[in-house]
Structure 1
Amino acid sequence: MTQLDAVKKTDWLALGAVAITVVSWASAFVAIRGVGTSFGAGQLALGRLLIGTLALGLILLVQRKWVKPNRTQWLQILSVGVFWFAIYNVALNAAEQRVDAGTTSMLIQIGPILVAIFAGLLLGEGFPRWLVIGAAIAFSGAVLVGVVTAVTTTDTTKTDADFLGIALCLVSAATYAIGVLSQKPVLRTIPGLQVTWIACAIGALCTLPFAPALVDDLGTASMQATGGLIYLGLVPTALAFSTWAYALTRMNAGRLGITTYAIPPLTILMGWLLLGEIPHILAVLGGVICLVGVGLSRRR
């Protein structure tokens, strides 16, 4: 095999990993919405994180790769686990009890802008003109989504969104941003899979107070709902984070980040096919405005 053939093969493998990640994360919004009637927000987060921790731990055992973090790195990974895995998941699950899957996925996409804003505030990276313009556009889109979904609840949209649900979506986006900022410096020296496993385990420990309620929910949940919980732990958590880390080692981070723009339309399509949810047209418009703002914020 020539070097060119090897490069092409690697590119196809990376592309396949990206596709698995994007489809898996899009399906997570639909799965959370689907099983949210059977599991509370905290219980669902704990169950998903426990399953994800077990699956990722098995993968690590097979790879047998471990880099010892220093004290600073432990603190950074702790932040990832608390904010991105624990608080994010609980807030997201609670949000999807009030907001349809498609609208939620669109609002979460403002996370990259929050990452840039927090980096400007906390790391002194400044506020480039396009970041300010993109942020203003994205947040105007989020406001439109919030207003439309909160005041428009009809049989056509088949959603029950309200301002609390929108606020929880924004909390999820903010905790995602904090997690990404904490994770970024760690990934320079610690393997992504190892960081993900430790953070997932920390998230599970943080949500352990929901264990008694999870046991109760499992006792009354249908087989379909329990299967959805297992799916969330194995596919969007363990598998998708692994394929994302794989792709990140073989693709430019900026180009890879753009692929997440495909998540909202996929989520809307899956929500329509599997749940019969159709977001209000103005909510979709607001989501598109959010995505445009995110895209503009990344201009150099």
Structure 2
Amino acid sequence: MTKQKATLIGGTAILMWSLLALFTIGSAPVPPLLLNAICFGIGGMIGLAWTARQGFGVLRGVSWKVYAFGIIGLFGYHLLYFTAFRLSPTAETGLIAYLWPLFIVLFSGFLPGERLRAPHVIGALIAFSGAAMIVLGRGGEASGSSLGMGLAFLCSLTWASYSILSRRLGAVPTESVTVFCLATAALSVISHLALEETVWPVSPLGWAAVLALGIGPVGAAFFTWDIGMKRGDIQLLGVASYAAPLLSTLALVAAGIAKPTWTIALAALLIAGGAALAARASARKG
């Protein structure tokens, strides 16, 4: 698989994550950890079907340390994310949680064979400013706890570390994500039973939203992201990830949930400009 193809495959995860907010709204009133359990369960089933084509023997050759890493990454990120927003449901919390693409770009410089160029960092900062306009523009409660914001910061570090360290596990087959998903689903069930009241979707549309989440943003996206992180252009994918909040907002506008504003247009220019700058630097690197 070429680096360009792997980058394109990884980019599909960003497209799928742009539908996360829309489908999550549609899945109400299902509580977060229960939703996590259902969606990762669906994602794990997709992974089993994919792995069956290659043979399950490929999973037996993976070290338990790799499985522990993947499970901690997926479950830990989502647990920190949900807890952060429960303690501090503010726009600022969302912005802190969305530092992970910038961290991916910065941390990539420590990877063997990778060279971090100034345009990558500048592009990431420009794209981050565009994402900041989107996230802060959504608003939230007037005040939030410092603990919640601290957990949001740990959340962003967790996902960036998971993504970057996936590069170091390039020889590990992507089929291993199947186990990550199924174990995350099991841990989410346990956490849900301990912390939440069980509430199921109230309509066929709600069930459809849950199914769509499990198939895409909280399912197949983790498999395509794994391919992108292991074999693609990691700096370009990091900067391009800032398109997710923009595309998410556009999806909400198309669904009639949000209204179009000039802020969205300006954010689009900043994110596109930052991504273009990073892409140019990657082209020169190649």
Q: Same fold (TM over 0.5)?
A: yes
Match of 1:154 in 2: none
Q: C-alpha separation between the residues in 1 aligned to 2:16 and 2:118?
A: 34
For residue 48 of structure 2, the aligned residue among 51, 57, 68 is 57
Conservation of the 8 A alpha-carbon contact between 1:25 and 1:263: yes
Mapping for residues 129-278 of structure 1, pairs under 5 Å: 129-130=118-119, 133=122, 148-150=137-139, 160=140, 164=144, 167=149, 171-186=154-169, 188-192=170-174, 194-212=175-193, 216-218=198-200, 221-243=202-224, 260=241, 262-278=243-259
1:29 corresponds to 2:21:
yes
Residue aligning to 2:72: 82
**Cα distance in 2 between the residues matched to 1:179 and 1:288:** 29
Encode CA deviations 1:89-123: one digit per residue, 9 max, x unaligned: 345556788579xx96x876642321244456899
The CA deviation at 1:223 is 2.8
Give unmatched runs, 5+ long, in structure 2. Answer: none
The aligned amino acid for 2:18 is A
Are the counterparts in 2 of residues 32 and 96 from structure 1 also a CA contact under 8 Å?
no
Displacement after TM superposition at 1:17 (Å): 5.4
SS in structure 2 at match of 1:32 = helix
CA shift at 1:185, angstroms?
1.4
Say if 1:174 and 1:15 are closer, same or farther in 2 by CA, change over 3 A: closer
Residue 79 of structure 1 aligns with an amino acid whose one-letter code is F
AA of the residue aligned to 2:52? L
**Secondary structure class of the residue paired with 1:217:** coil
TM-score scaled to structure 2, two decimals? 0.68
Provide TM-score, normalisation by structure 1. 0.65
Deviates more, 1:280-289 or 1:258-267: 280-289
Distance 1:211 1:61, change over 3 A: farther
Aligned residue pairs: how many?
A: 271
Counterparts in 2 of 1:273 and 1:245: CA distance versus 1, 3 Å: same
1:60 deviation in Å?
A: 1.0
1:89/1:221 CA distance change after superposition, 3 Å: farther
Task: Give the structure 1 partner of residue 34 of structure 2.
Answer: 43
CA drift at 1:53? 1.3
Q: CA–CA distance in 1 between the matches of 2:15 and 2:104?
A: 23
Query: Over aligned residues, Cα RMSD in angstroms?
Result: 4.7
Instruction: Measure how far apart 1:259 and its partner are.
Output: 5.5
Hey, what's the Cα distance between the residues in 2 that align with 1:15 and 1:279? 30
TM-superposed CA distance for 1:233, in Å, is: 1.1
Aligned-partner residue type, residue 70 of structure 2: V
Percent identical residues:
20
Q: Check the 8 A contact 1:22/1:260 in 2, yes or no.
A: yes
Q: List alignment gaps of at least 5 residues for structure 1.
A: 1-6, 151-159
